[in-house]
């Protein structure tokens, strides 16, 4: 009887010591804080996984877009410079046509015969010949360079000619006329007021090669000339002529249908042209963007008298930029949503074993040594779970030993 009482006391005292050792005092921190800590790990993992997914994708996309746009930009510059070379050739073709028209004057026997008679005969015949070139000013000088007839579009009326061609410098002051009086056929592009003018001069001689004077054909480089050059260049291209550095004519049209002179010459283009370069500059004209290639226009002496510009519409590039930007934005949103979903799944799978281990630890601390730990992953968390199982088994053995 005494022995059994002693055993019960010993057993009770051992259980008391074990319960003292295993007693668990709940933390004083509110449950919401603990939840925040547990959720914080999951959210940190989610953010890390989202960043690890998005950063490489966005970086590769940005680099790819930059390379594509760079190659497209270089292609536009190349095409603008090529169009500039074609426009130069077309302008030279326009000059050659004026030269051929002037050559026809030198071969007209009636005009040569009129030069041996009164100036009125010259004016009459020159008026007839000028009808073939309605946009040109046709002039004839005597052997010393004095102008004896000026006609245009079938008329030699001085008032009409002076009003229409007021900006044209008199032919007797032009160097091409002086060279023509020296039996030299010459062609040049000269400034005339706010515009440029193509001036062709050739000597007029009789059959004995005696000098009778000079024939001069002057044509302004204006909007119609720019239109003819543009028609040969093709669509989505505009042509600009500059007299010096000021725009004089172009194919740009306002919304009202009025012809525009053209955009001002950019300073960077003016500096580059002085160094014999052909720069390509992006310009805004109206509400559209253009890539404009600039090249010098020179006279017969090689002096720069103007600038030729050819503009390519950048709307196709701008539309491509908008499409790529929209595609990249939608793709980034889609990747973000997928990354959020995958990151949440992975974070839950990583933190669920921790929550299970946490619950098991609390249960063991309360004395429940029959707690089952269901974490069996083949990683470090599985090792921790196995350590918990070993600890539970050891506690059970110690309890049984007591």
Q: What are the pLDDT digits (tens) for 248-269?
A: 999 999 888 889 889 999 988 8
pLDDT digits (tens, 9 = 90+) for 354-397: 777 777 788 777 777 777 776 667 777 777 777 878 887 787 77
Instruction: Output the pTM of the full model.
Output: 0.65
More confident of the two residues 23 and 241: 241
Average pLDDT score over the chain: 80
How crowded is residue 350: how many other Cβ atoms within 10 Å of its Cβ? 17
> Tokens 């091409």 — which residue?
176
User: What is the rounded CA–CA span in Å between residue 139 and residue 152?
Assistant: 9
Edge-first strand listing for the sheet containing 237-243: 246-250, 237-243, 304-313, 288-298, 280-285
Structural domain boundaries in the chain: 15-21+35-55+320-401, 107-221
pLDDT of residue 19 exceeding 80, the answer is: no
d(CA 320, CA 289): 13
Q: Are 221 and 248 in contact (CB under 8 A)?
A: yes
CATH number for 107-221 (one of 3.30.450.20, 3.10.20.30, 3.40.50.920, 3.40.640.10): it is 3.30.450.20
Residue 112 pLDDT greater than 50, yes or no: yes
Residue 71's CB: how many other CB atoms inside 10 A?
Answer: 10
């Amino acid at each position: 009887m005494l022995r059994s009482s002693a055993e019960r006391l010993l057993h009770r005292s051992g259980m008391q010591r074990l319960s003292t050792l295993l007693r668990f005092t709940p933390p004083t921190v509110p449950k919401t804080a603990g939840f925040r800590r547990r959720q914080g790990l999951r959210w940190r993992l989610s953010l890390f996984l989202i960043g690890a997914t998005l950063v490489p994708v966005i970086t590769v996309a940005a680099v790819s877009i930059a390379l594509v746009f760079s190659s497209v930009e270089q292609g536009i510059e190349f095409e603008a410079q090529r169009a500039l070379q074609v426009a130069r050739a077309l302008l030279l073709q326009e000059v050659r046509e004026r030269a051929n028209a002037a050559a026809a004057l030198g071969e007209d026997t009636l005009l040569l015969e009129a030069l041996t008679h009164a100036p009125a005969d010259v004016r009459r015949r020159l008026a007839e010949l000028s009808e073939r070139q309605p946009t040109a000013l046709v002039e004839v000088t005597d052997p010393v360079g004095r102008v004896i007839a000026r006609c245009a579009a079938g008329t030699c009326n001085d008032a009409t000619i002076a009003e229409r061609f007021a900006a044209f410098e008199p032919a007797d002051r032009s160097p091409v006329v002086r060279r023509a009086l020296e039996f030299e056929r010459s062609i040049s592009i000269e400034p005339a007021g706010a515009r440029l003018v193509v001036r062709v001069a050739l000597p007029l001689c009789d059959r004995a090669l005696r000098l009778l004077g000079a024939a001069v054909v002057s044509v302004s480089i204006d909007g119609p000339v720019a239109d003819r050059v543009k028609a040969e260049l093709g669509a989505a291209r505009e042509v600009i002529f500059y007299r010096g550095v000021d725009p004089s004519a172009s194919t740009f049209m306002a919304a009202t249908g009025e012809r525009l002179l053209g955009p001002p010459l950019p300073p960077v283009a003016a500096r580059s042209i002085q160094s014999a370069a052909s720069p390509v500059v992006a310009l805004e004209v109206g509400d559209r963007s253009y890539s404009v290639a600039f090249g010098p226009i020179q006279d017969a002496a090689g002096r720069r008298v103007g600038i030729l510009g050819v503009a390519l519409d950048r709307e196709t590039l701008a539309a491509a930029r908008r499409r790529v930007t929209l595609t990249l934005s939608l793709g980034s949103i889609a990747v973000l949503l997928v990354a959020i979903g995958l990151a949440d799944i992975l974070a839950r799978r990583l933190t669920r074993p921790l929550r299970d281990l946490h619950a098991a630890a609390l249960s063991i601390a309360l004395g429940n040594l029959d707690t089952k730990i269901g974490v069996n992953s083949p990683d470090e968390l599985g090792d921790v779970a196995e350590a918990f199982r070993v600890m539970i088994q050891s506690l059970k053995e110690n309890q049984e030993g007591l």
